[in-house]
Amino acid sequence: GHTCPWREIWRIEIVVRDLFSAFFNTQSIRQDTVKIGQRASGLNKVKPVKSATENTLIGEGDHLWPKAKERKVKRFWALVSSWFLPARRGDIVSPEMSSEENLNHNGASPLPLAEEELMDTRGSPTPAEIGDSPCSPQLSPVTGLEQELQVAVDPVTMETEEVVYKGEDPFKSEGTVQFLIKDTTKLFSKSGLNSLSDPVYIRDLPWRLLVQCREVGTKEKDSQKALGVFVQCNPQGPDVPGGWSCWARASIKLMSREEDSKTINKEITHLFNSKENDWGFSTLTTYEDLVDPTKGFLDENDSFILEAHVIADAPHGINWDSKKHTGYVGLKNQGATCYMNSLLQTLYFTTKLRRAVYQMPTEHDDPIRSVPLALQRIFYELQHSDKSVGTKKLTKSFGWDTVDIFMQHDVQELSRVLLDNIESKMKGTLVEGTIPELFEGRTESYIRCTEVDYRSSREETFFDIQLNIKGKRNVYESFQDYVAEETLDGDNKYDAAEYGLQTAKKGVIFTKLPPVLHLHLMRFLYDPATDFNVKINDSFQFPEELDLKDFVKDPTSVNTCYRLHAVLVHSGDNYGGHYVVYVNPKGDGKWFKFDDDVVSRCSKKDAIDYNFGGNEETGIIRSCTSAYMLVYIRDNMLGDILQDCPSDDIPEHLKERILEERRLEALRRKERSEALLYLTVEVYREDEFQHHSGPDLISQDCQPLIFKVLKSTPLEEFHLALALSMGYPPELLRVWPFEMRTNSTFRPGYVCYKKNATKTVFELAEKNSVWKIFLELLPLDGPLKALPDYNPQSDVLLFYKYYNPKAKLIVYAGHSFECADRKFSELFPMLCESVGLPLNTPLILYEEVKPTYIELINHNLYLRQLEELGDGDIICFQRDVSTLNFELPTVEDYFRDLVNRVEVTFYNRSDSSDPGFTLILNQKMTYTQVAVAVADYIKEDMKFIQFFKPSHLRNAPEIAIRWNSDGYLRDFVLLRHRLELPTILYYQVLTIPVEQFESKKCFRCYFLNSKLKEERDMTLYVSKQGLVAEVLEEASKELRSVQLEIKSTKLRLLEVISHRIFDVYQAAKPIADLASNRTFRLEEIPSDQFHLEEDEGIIPVAHYSKEPHNTFGIPFLLKFKDGESLSSIIKKIQILLELSDQEMVKWKYALVHQVTQAKYLDEDEQLFLQNFTINKEKGVFFPHMGIPYLGLEHANKNQRRSRYSYLEKAIKIHN
């Protein structure tokens, strides 16, 4: 019963203070008295704790109350909390319960009271458990207590400034669990006895030490007792999900009282989860060593001390409130977008960039395709949201599909692509130049001659620096390697213009370093030994403060001191892994870890030292985890770049747009959650019938009024609410529900208000989710003050349509209530007046029974004489035009044509991105009629348009439709019975008439010029009975038509499979003998191969890597003489491929006779015609499988190898 007048909220603090004083009759007021507005931390409560004696004072902080006043404290907070906030679990301590009862009441179990409590839950260990290997003993759970914290939130920036905990911080990242075992003899009295320590809360999870008496050894004589020690993390409770996990490392110590050197210290790392909630050592030490006096483990009371220092990451899959614990929120992972999340957090905390992004004009941007708007949303949500932020709208603005989302890319590559995209979008705006201002640096590449006064240089810009880490210990060594000079001497001397070839020094120096420095550590390198990219996990150190004065051309011109701002870390290998980012948001040394949606505080050592990489002997550092990208900010610009971005700096239009989007999304969520309770009512008025020209009264194109109505609403209440919404008196409207008839027509029907007044709308809708009704309305300014009563026994509701044969159109003409005793002819004046015809115009009447059945009506009949006449029937009428000539003269003709109408969507087969166009055609149209209609639309000659039937299984063209087909359109298309699936046809525009094309063979190939570069794909149309010579002739014509430069006057046709030449086809070979599924190559014939002497031949040459079957690149033909040395042939290859001696120094040469075998050749060996299969009649001929051939073995440098998968593709932002 207590209520709070919120309009007087400013008086609450005074009231509370006075009430507190009066309640306890004291003037001492705690500083943490209730403050309305700090809702994030709830009411600051006094929590009772268990006391050892009755006289112990109960409370927290510096001010304590005697236990006698405990109940008054509880009643006071219960009273205040009932005014302001709804009760939450654990907020209000019941005044009627003891401390122990309250623990159970709040859902937590009391903690163990005795340190030596023993639980016999273990059997003897298996042989696999003997030794020092970490293992998991799997024990039963014990829960812990929760503690409250206060979060001070900056109302301007909406970011946390300080976190103050009442008591020990339960969310800390590390802590120490100590366990005193008082009775060692009792613990080891029986194998399998367990002892569990009190919990220490780290990351809000209870961590304990579990001690066991273990029996080790497989034989009785070898069996001995050992001390097993395990670290346990086992949260319990109804709110703890089964899929939680927490990665932690710990050092377990058995303390010695003699010397520190005798203390046993072992370390573990483990991913704790519900299935493996404890981890440690089954044999930390033997019982004999434990009780050995020289070791100093036991004291005079038969006790020993165990200690575990635990360092834990923030847990996943559990209720971890990042905003509450850190003041920041994370980003949701859509599948494999951790790399993008890490980069976005880095850019977000580059506050100057965030401010610039906010200022980009996006008022008129497409809400789906605009990348700047999507980025503004992300930054705004990260700044203002209390929960993790989704990135689906951002990836959708990139134009990414599901494949992109589930494919992990390189974070440095995304950084370049995204910053380039933002920079281009900033051009022409107030923030133009922000990206170069923040991230752009300059280098000077130079060549300096050592013996003459000559120097050449050029300046280049960069946005990040790629540092080689292989063999380097730290960042400084990598920078030394980056600027190291290379000597150009010997065969590699530099051409110094007028000075000729000179010995020179080649190098690079930094001329300008950017304010924000991105360093990309090149941990993924190509390994020639394995022919794959591998990850370099070597230790590589980087400092928190970086000075680059030794690498700048003029260090006095710019500040070269930088401070570490972010560390992007990759865990995993070349084939996959996970990204996280450590950020120092304010540049003050306070670090936070952003792991997708989980944000946690961490130490400087966690952020820096533990990410150097390397295989540590201790096993504490995960060897596959290492820094991949570093972000430094110049010291003297920290304040400017990291300056707070208050909400006032965000444009109002952006805030309003995002808040409106939030409101609409909340509304949609509410609608989805309440969808089962509500019925959708579609209200159709006569206005919706006006533009309908098909069967019945409504179609899919109609746009009715839509209402959401509770399913339990009675018809009477619905009628009144509908009248109120429409602004009509209830007497001026009447509801006619649409109903499906047995003949599949959809017409309004009568509902009796008196009988169905209490029936719910859901029942009247026959339990469908959508209820469609016709709303009969009287004009507000009309003479009638209420709708006339309707008698279902004598009256009938009729609807009218008028058909105009000239326009080939049928339109709605109104409705009326008619007495069944009237003749149809009596309706003529009213019908003529409704469509503006003279009142004496002769009319012809039809009943629209259904679209395929239109019945002529004898106008001399009475209405009751029409068979099965009922409410909602449709009467079609037209003038008598029997003496005139129209294409569709009657209503029957119109509906017959209407039934055969079909909307066909046409797609260009040659353009996969073609949006298509839709035409309304008749199913009985011939091929020629369809071609005329399409040609008229696309403005092409119908003779050049070819059509293709669609596939039944997928949206793709299947077989071509012959130009002289006898069928109709319905035979060509796949008619869809579901309205949401379109009827489609594919077409293509040819360069020759379809009739001529169908007698030709489509021959696809590609042309290769004399420099062995693919110039263009070609599609040639040649006679099916023609020869290869016709292909060569058609190719020459097309090449000349596109003005492609050809050195040779002759062409030849080759078949290439798996980067090897399989055959060379002569001009006289029939085209019909060529397989249509092969790859053919057209190329110029070099002039030196026009004529061959008796001792000359042409050999095939192919590139391969390691094994002959790993061919790659472009194979080619080479002329040689019988007995020519390999060294001479190598020179020809070098000239043809335009390669230097240095590029070919590691190449090997082999004669490949089998796909799996190669005979390697020395350069002084000779090649003979007999080594190859030569056919002089054809000029050159190769046997099956394209062998033998001359193989060139070398690394495939042009192959783009994916770090993660052979399916990976380059990152692209399409918008």
Strands, DSSP E only, in 424-464?
441-449, 455-462
Q: Is residue 1057 exposed (0-12), middle (13-18) or buried (19+ Cβ within 10 Å)? A: middle
> DSSP of 856-871, one letter per residue?
EE-TTSBGGGSTT--T
Collapsing DSSP states into helix, strand and coil, what is residue 584? coil
Alpha-carbon span 1019 to 262, nearest angstrom: 83
**What would you report as the CA-atom Rg of the chain, rounded to the nearest whole angstrom?**
43
Alpha-carbon span 829 to 859, nearest angstrom: 13
Torsion of CA 752, 757, 758, 759, to 10 degrees: 40
DSSP 8-state secondary structure symbol assigned to residue 1173: -
Alpha-carbon span 188 to 873, nearest angstrom: 95
* Other CB atoms within 10 Å distance of the CB of residue 26: 12
Treating both helix axes as pointing N-terminal to C-terminal, what angle do 12-24 and 70-84 enclose, rounded to 10 degrees? 160
Alpha-carbon span 520 to 478, nearest angstrom: 11
Output the CA angle 496-502-506, nearest 5 degrees: 80
Question: 522: part of which helix (H) or strand (E)?
Answer: strand 516-522
Cβ(851)–Cβ(898) below 8 Å: yes
Active-site residue, from 270, 520, 578, 815: 578
Collapsing DSSP states into helix, strand and coil, what is residue 937? helix
Alpha-carbon span 196 to 176, nearest angstrom: 15
Torsions phi, psi for 75 (to 5 deg): -65, -40
Output the CA angle 983-989-994, nearest 5 degrees: 100
Cβ(199)–Cβ(144) below 8 Å: yes
1005 is catalytic: no
Cβ(567)–Cβ(630) below 8 Å: yes
Helices (H) and strands (E) in the chain, counts: 28, 56
Active-site residue, from 338, 449, 602, 645: 338
DSSP 8-state secondary structure symbol assigned to residue 1022: E
Residues 6+ apart with CB under 8 A from 90: 106, 107, 146
Look up residue 140 and give its two tokens: 């039963």
Question: 1128: part of which helix (H) or strand (E)?
Answer: helix 1126-1137
Per-residue b or e along 717-751, where b marks 16 or more CB atoms closer than 10 Å to that residue's CB = bbbeebbeebebebebbbbbbbbeeeeebebbbbb
338 is catalytic: yes
List, by residue number, the catalytic residues: 338, 578
